[in-house]
Amino acid sequence: MAPVAVVTDSTSYLPPELIERHGIQVVPLYVVFAGDRTVPEVEITDYPAFFEELRSAESLPTTSQPSVGDFTAAFEPLLADGGEVVSVHISGGLSGTPEAARQAKEALSRDGKGGERIEVVDSTTAAGGLGFMVLAAAKAARDGASAKEVSEHVADARKELRLWFAIDTLEFLKRGGRIGAASAWIGSTLRVKPILTVENEMTPVERVRTSSRMFERLVEYARSCAESGADAWSAQHINAPDQCGALVDRCAEVFGSQPTIVSEIGPVLSAHTGPGLLGMGAVPKHYIE
């Protein structure tokens, strides 16, 4: 029996070496500049130039999910040998990506091309949280699970996931329409650092007054993860490499191990949060190793 193939989208921001090691297929989302230039996220590699454009643009770039055709093109070769596919994606509360994958599954089923052998999983999270769910899928597939069993393993891992991120301002989320439940904070955040998570949509956790306090709160969250047995951890940032490096150093002391995921979050999520994001997450290691 052919092994289960794992597909995700570009918003996991998994380091390239993990993508290659686990044979994960990545379908990119898109960034749309000034309404007339559409670029696959994976083709934007000059992040400093992107952030400069983000700061100076009169209107923010918008983002777009992969097309149904993008997904069918990714799925078809994986199904051709009779194998199964598990496609794990950014929260449907933030993007139409899971729905596009579901529509591709339905189209391939109608055309007799094996769409019924695809399991589409809405991770209800993003970035490092999605990355952990993809690694959980890869682990289950590696262990010989069926597509349905892989999706069930991911669902179990999702229940144990913890994810927090701090941003400089809610302004980008507000302008991009992704503010979600954090909208209640608009108008009271001039001198505070919002800390949020993703539970289907952007969800507020708490507000702190300084960058140093925000940093220490993330370390405290890491400590709570380590104490509860969530011992595989991540650190991600947007245009804040020094802060991320310091967070990795502190969290490595807390966990007594090196991170599973360290990466910079790319243009699709950056366009909605703005630069300066710093985040960490964790999941019990047995789900991914």
Q: Write out pLDDT tens, residues 249-271.
A: 999 999 999 999 999 999 999 98
Is the model's pLDDT at 99 over the cut of 60? yes
139 and 282: one domain? no
Whether residues 74 and 127 share a domain: the answer is yes
> Looking at the predicted structure, is the pLDDT value of residue 75 above 80?
yes
Same domain, 106 and 135: yes
- Look at residue 56 in the predicted model and tell me its pLDDT: 77
**pLDDT given at position 98:** 98
Same domain, yes or no, for 199 and 274? yes
Per-residue pLDDT, averaged over 109-136, amounts to 98
Instruction: State the Cα–Cα distance between residues 144 and 208, nearest whole angstrom.
Output: 45
Secondary structure (DSSP) of 47-94:
HHHHHHHHHH-SSPPEEEPPPHHHHHHHHHHHHTTS--EEEEES-TTT
- Per-residue pLDDT band at 289 (split at 50, 70, 90): very high
Domain span at 243 = 162-287
User: CA 122, CA 134: separation in Å to the nearest integer?
Assistant: 11
The answer on 86 and 11 residing in a single domain is yes
Distance CA 180, CA 189 (A): 15
Burial class of 191 by CB neighbour count within 10 A (0 to 12, 13 to 18, 19+)? exposed
Q: Is residue 110 part of a domain?
A: yes
Same domain, 136 and 251: no
Domain boundary among 134, 159, 184: 159
Select from 126, 159, 192 the last residue of a domain.
Answer: 159
Q: Which comes out higher in pLDDT, residue 115 or 55?
A: 115
Mean residue pLDDT of the chain comes to 91
What is the CATH number for 282? 3.30.1180.10
Tokens of 231: 């011992």
Number of domains in the chain: 2
Report the candidate in 134, 140, 115 with the shortest Cα–Cα distance to residue 10.
134
Q: Examine the pLDDT at 177 and tell me if it is beyond 70.
A: no
**Residue-level pLDDT at 35:** 67
Tens-place pLDDT, residues 193-252: 889 888 888 788 888 888 999 999 999 999 999 999 999 999 999 999 999 999 999 999
Enter the pTM of the model.
0.93
Cβ 129 vs Cβ 183: under 8 Å = no
Q: pLDDT at residue 182 above 80?
A: no
Residue 172's pLDDT band, with cuts at 50, 70 and 90, is: low
For residue 190, pLDDT beyond 60: no
Name which residue leads in pLDDT, 191 or 148: 148
| Chain segment 10-59, per-residue pLDDT in tens | 999 999 999 999 999 999 999 998 767 899 999 999 998 898 887 777 77
Edge-to-edge strand list for the sheet holding 278-283: 201-208, 193-199, 162-166, 278-283, 232-237, 261-264
Same structural domain for residues 185 and 239?
yes
Percent of the residues in the chain that have a pLDDT greater than 70, as a whole number: 91
Q: Is residue 37 part of a domain?
A: no
